[in-house]
Homo-oligomer: A and B are copies of this chain.
Amino acid sequence: MAKKLPPQTKMATCNEQQILVRDKDLVKELIGKISFTDMFFYHLMQRMPTPADTAILDAVLVTLMEHGLTPSAIATRLTIMSAPESFQGAMAAGLMGVGSGLVGTMEGMAKNLTEITTAEDGLEAAAKRVAQGFRDSRQAIPGFGHPVHKPDDPRTPRLFDVAREAGVSGKYIEAVAVLSAAVDEAYGRHLTINATGGIAVILSEIGIPWDVMRGIAVVSRSAGLVGHIKEERERPIAPFIFAHLEEVIPYAGDRKLD
């Protein structure tokens, strides 16, 4: 078992005058030489990104950063009101909500893409099988459908264009087109590939494993939450939220106040 290997890490080390992060000298080779996005990619994948890798990771991080008053943003704003002493605590409260309800779809799409692109029965048959499987179990299929953006989520074609322009192979973009057709057929109506679905596609194009995709979403969203805390301080809405919800959500217990 892996846990019996001697403990070690390849993350970073330092002495009085040098800091290594992974296999690079932080001061001489990284600071001022590469962007945050390159550094994040390098740290995660342990190789320097190609221009395509950078373009795609940037596009993903830009897409996910800010979505307005999401559950995460509301949680962060209420928390900084109640506990102004902990900036990071308010961020953490919001980040806890970057969960399966929202970004889980990214992981599900990525897993489905892996399944259909490696299936023995071929892409089309596998796409139909997967789409029908979700349909039969009356589940939403991850990465498809959107409550607001209809008929199509405008972010998805843009993300695919960025990926194509960056020169990716297009294997997963093609696969998702096949899956999309199978989904529309199985569900009997058109379901858009949503942005988190599209993100799973292009992150798959550059080899990001599905099981770290949620971490990328957390990083991007964390930047958005810094903006929410700043706006909350400049023009607070948390006191309104707290007071207003008390008004519109009545107490419905059997006992009444005297």
Contacts and interface: CB of A to CB of B under 8 A. Distances in A.
Interface stretch (A169-177, A182-190, A210-218): A210-218
Copies of this chain assembled into the complex: 4
A96 interface: yes
Interface stretch (A53-61, A111-119, A124-132, A136-144): A53-61
Q: How many A residues touch the partner, as a band?
A: 35 or more
A222 B233 contact: no
Nearest to A20: B255
A7 B249 contact: yes
Given A12-B67, A32-B55, A74-B245, A90 B96 contact: yes
Contacts of A178: none
A70 B239 CA distance: 11
A74 B69 CA distance: 14
A36 B220 contact: yes
A231 interface: yes
Given A86-B83, A99-B84, A235-B8, A149 B223 contact: no
Interface of A: 2-3, 5, 7-24, 26-28, 30-32, 34-37, 39-40, 43-44, 55, 57-59, 61-63, 65-75, 78-79, 81-102, 104, 148-150, 154-155, 158-159, 161-162, 165, 211-212, 214-216, 218-220, 222-231, 233-242, 244-246, 248-255, 257-258
Q: Which 10 A-B pairs have the closest CB atoms?
A: A83-B99, A215-B226, A13-B251, A71-B78, A82-B97, A12-B68, A8-B252, A32-B162, A36-B61, A23-B255
